[in-house]
Amino acid sequence: MTACVTRMLAGLAAGCLLAAGGAAADSSEVLGWVEKAELKPWDIKVKAKLDSGALTSSIDARDIASFTRDGEDWVRFRFRLEDEDTGDTVTEEVERPLYRTLTVRGAGGRDQRPVVLLKLCIGNTVYEEQFSLRDRSAMNYPVLLGRRTLGHLGHLDVGRTFTRDAECGEDAEFVAHKPHAQDDD
């Protein structure tokens, strides 16, 4: 069995567990395959596609550049996102420490992508998650949430969309990032 088929089967199995309410989810919440999420601290509401076929979450990023700060690897990037509530386009330059580098293998070959930690509100909880940086301007959804994130969001119902609004005020629960054994994928 090829590595591609193995990864595809693993993604399908994880998706079935989530959809069936398996042990992969810590919450009894049910989410649709597209949800509204809020990118923190900018408070920009975006459409996020929940994708059990992807391991690592991804966000639309442009002008990606690596640099060194105080001996550490950092990444500078720009996002240009439409706020789903206001319709305004928000452009922001962001600098974050490089968490790791992700190698993506596909039909077009291999691609190296920087991964950073960002905060995202779903429902009334803020999650600190890994996001690979990629130009997603040609995609329908600027944010894709992979299995690492889905595993603690709740159950996935692929027949539903927009099951809740992102409502994270100052009293929102915060779930800090926890390193995974698979962080070297």
Report the alpha-carbon angle 85-81-167, nearest 5.
40
- Look at residue 185 in the predicted model and tell me its pLDDT: 56
pTM: 0.79
Per-residue pLDDT tens for 67-102? 999 999 999 999 999 999 999 999 999 999 999 999
Predicted pLDDT at 84? 93
Whether 111 shows a pLDDT value over 70: the answer reads: yes
Q: Which two tokens stand for residue 117?
A: 């930690």
Contact 84, 166 (CB under 8 A): no
Here the tokens at position 61 are 């990023």
| Greater model confidence, 117 or 173 | 117
Confidence of residue 181 (pLDDT cuts 50, 70, 90): low
Angle CA 28–155–170, to nearest 5: 65
Q: What is the pLDDT of residues 132-142, one digit of tens each?
A: 999 998 999 99
Domain 3-175 has CATH 2.40.70.10: yes
Q: Is the dihedral of CA 135, 58, 30, 82 positive or negative?
A: negative
Q: What are phi and psi of 12, to 5 degrees?
A: -65, -40
What pLDDT sits at residue 86? 93
Helix/strand number for the chain, H first, E second: 2, 13
User: Hey, where are the domains in the chain?
Assistant: 3-175
